Amino acid sequence: MTGPLLTGTGACRLDAAGRTVEAPGIMAPNVAASPIISVRDVGVLYNRGSRHRSLRDAVYRRSGGVRTDSFWAVDGVSFDVYPGEAIGVVGRNGQGKSTLLKLIAGVLLPDVGEVEVRGGVAPLIEITGGFVGDLTVRENIALTAGLHGMPKSVIAERFDEIVAFAETGAFLDAPYKHLSSGMKARVAFAVVSRLEEEVILVDEVLAVGDKRFRRKCYRRLEQLLEEGRTLFLVSHSERNLRRFCSRGLYMRNGALVLDGPLDDVLAAYAREDDDE
């Protein structure tokens, strides 16, 4: 495991020509502070054919043994993340990346090990999860923001801003289920990206929507990083990873095989593809 990566006096990003440049406006990690995320020897055990262990398993597997149809979705993973870091998580599908984000979000508990997050989390994972199809867009904005802890007064204050970002003003009183998948993603991103949480988790949501809306999402993430937020980004887009991240985590078969500078992590991941 490596420590936090610093590049010059700030983070790095891509310019309009795709070149790596210093981004002084994006705050460097605060290495003098305590880690905002600590993951210690974490493992998550899944059973093939069922996503979660059943009550029967919990009652009868008193010995704690591993069933023959079980596998470790995350296995022995440890790392620290410091305030202001931007972490890119890479690996093929099914290697434990999304499971790792769910552990940090607190929606999944580890079977072994410990995950400690010293701050609130804004989860942009399974982005439309938690929205109620039969409620209107207006009602869903208030409900989702409230469930994430945003006070009613703040929801009212930011409501117009959320609607303007999502570009769904004409559909506020339509049932959420009648929106297109792209419009649903717009509403979800607009709400969650307005939360005042220290940690932002992003799992491939930048692949949704049209090109113009993705640019809006990019600008919003850059604003959050400039404010000193901590970013975890899971993506198969090397360009997006280079745009936002300076440190990488490479997951393979549930294990963390490399934690280091993003360039090194992307190179190692590319070699895996070349070896196939």
| Residue owning tokens 């008193």 | 62
29 has a pLDDT exceeding 80? no
pLDDT of res. 21: 47
Least confident of 38-42, 53-57, 70-74, 83-87: 53-57
d(CA 121, CA 229): 10
Label the pairing between strands 199-203 and 230-234.
parallel
- Crossing angle of helices 181-192 and 211-226, in 10° steps, is 10
Q: Are the C-beta atoms of residues 82 and 33 closer than 8 Å to each other?
A: yes
pLDDT of res. 128: 62
Closest to 228 measured CA to CA, from 1, 33, 22, 15: 33
For range 50-60, the mean pLDDT = 50
CA distances from residue 204 to 1, 122, 189, 237, 240 in whole angstroms, order as listed: 25, 15, 12, 9, 10
- HSE of 5, CA atoms in CB hemisphere, 13 A: 20
d(CA 4, CA 241): 16
User: Does pTM surpass 0.85?
Assistant: no
The pLDDT tens digits of the residues spanning 196-247 come to 899 999 887 666 667 888 888 889 999 999 999 999 999 999 999 999 999 9
pLDDT of res. 238: 93
Q: What is the CA radius of gyration of the chain?
A: 20
d(CA 131, CA 150): 16
d(CA 208, CA 250): 23
Which is the CATH superfamily of the domain at 2-34+85-105+198-275?
P-loop containing nucleotide triphosphate hydrolases (3.40.50.300)
Label the pairing between strands 37-47 and 70-81.
antiparallel
61 has a pLDDT exceeding 80? no
CA distances from residue 209 to 73, 192, 215 in whole angstroms, order as listed: 29, 16, 10
194 has a pLDDT exceeding 60? yes
* Region of residue 177 (left: phi > 0; alpha: psi -120 to 50; beta: else): alpha
Mean pLDDT computed over every residue of the chain: 83
| Residue owning tokens 């899971």 | 234
pLDDT of res. 24: 39
